[in-house]
Amino acid sequence: MKRITRVALITSGGDCQGLNAAIRGVGKALLNRIDDIEIFGMQDGYRGLIDRDYKFMESRDFSGIITHGGTILGTSRQNYIPGKDIVDDNGESLIPAMMDTYNRLNLDCLVIMGGNGTQKSAKLLMDAGMNVVTLPKTIDNDIWGTDVTFGFQSAVDIATNVIDYIHSTASSHGRTFLVELMGRDAGWLTLYAGVGSGADVILLPEIPYDIDKIVEYLEERRESGRKFSILAVSEGARSKNDGVFDEEAARKKKESSKYPTISYELADIIEKKTGQETRVTIPGHYQRGGPPCPYDRVLATHFGAAAADLIVKKDYGKMVAMQNGNIVPIPLAEAAEKTKFLPTDHPLIQVGRDIGISFGD
């Protein structure tokens, strides 16, 4: 009797556009390529694996979802000790419970779709003895080893659209506007949306800003007859006076600040120094919502089919990536090892400088 292949799908961490397209890509490819296949969908990320909360997925579950935002499986975050363990609120390891579900279902592989942190936690499951294939999803585009993640282009489209709309009100009132964008400690989203929308100033985590230079630049714009200015500000932007923070130090600085976000702090300083009315817009999770753009639908489908191919070949312990326009598998250990920050010599930064955009330095 031919053995049944059993695969579980998991969407972990923050949601983003393209997750359902990726679920569809994996599921349809597995059903088409393997005759004896059972696919399980773990509910709410790793929680489903921990609590044995899952659904058996049929062909119809993968139909009509390519245009849907979010994830039909639900998602959640788990406490994670980098490089060591996935734990509950009491610090107890959750990996044994996850392994128990894996063994009870007699799974051949987990397909885990997630961002930078998920790649790292997925490696822990791999190290514990589970077969794992991962897909890179995040609007931050900060996963090592892949040129692009699905969700990124959709977020760029939304963030660009927000700044496009801010132009008219900024122009009408002669105001300075700061639009704060997501991306954590990587500036990919802010750079692409800033250049694409015609922002005047782009502030990135990788290029510490000098507030005096920003003010000087804004004053020069006003003196030249341009009555308004728009700053695209990454949520992780930092002053040159902040020095180099690790994650814990950055968190403590943020908690001690009287301002809710970096943009409100900058707006207060800019308004006092320039005398120009200054406003803040934060689209927030709006950037992660809604249907995926066509590019992300195609990319996520391609990634999903590639994950199915790795399962057919029993080539586990890999993350599906895009490199130089080609879809390739790379070792999960490599993807989980680093974070892909924006290089300060990135060609698009030089393009921005060439056309007169200030990066605050």
User: Which residues does the annotation mark as catalytic?
Assistant: 140
Measured CA to CA, the distance from residue 10 to residue 24 in angstroms comes to: 12
| Cα–Cα nearest to 121, from 93, 147, 140 | 93
**Per residue in 217-240, is it b (16+ CB within 10 Å) or e — as a string?**
bbeebbeeeeebbbbbbbbbbbbe
250-254-256 Cα angle (round to 5) = 120
Taking CA atoms, 139 is separated from 78, 104, 182, in Å, by 19, 34, 8
Which residue's structure tokens are 């200030």? 358
Q: Tell me the β-bridge partners of 176.
A: 229, 278
Spatial neighbors of 69 by CB under 8 A, at least 6 apart, are 15, 17, 20, 289, 290, 291, 292
- Cβ–Cβ under 8 Å, residues 79 and 86: yes
**Per residue in 309-328, is it b (16+ CB within 10 Å) or e — as a string?**
bbbeeeebbbbbbbeeeebe
Please classify residue 264 by burial: count the beta carbons closer than 10 Å to its beta carbon, then call 0-12 exposed, 13-18 middle and 19+ buried.
Answer: middle
Q: Report the SS3 class of residue 109.
A: strand
Which residue's structure tokens are 């592989």? 109
Both structure tokens of 282: 């934060």
Q: What is the CA radius of gyration of the chain?
A: 22
- Cβ–Cβ under 8 Å, residues 191 and 344: no
Q: Tell me the β-bridge partners of 209.
A: 239
Measured CA to CA, the distance from residue 336 to residue 116 in angstroms comes to: 7
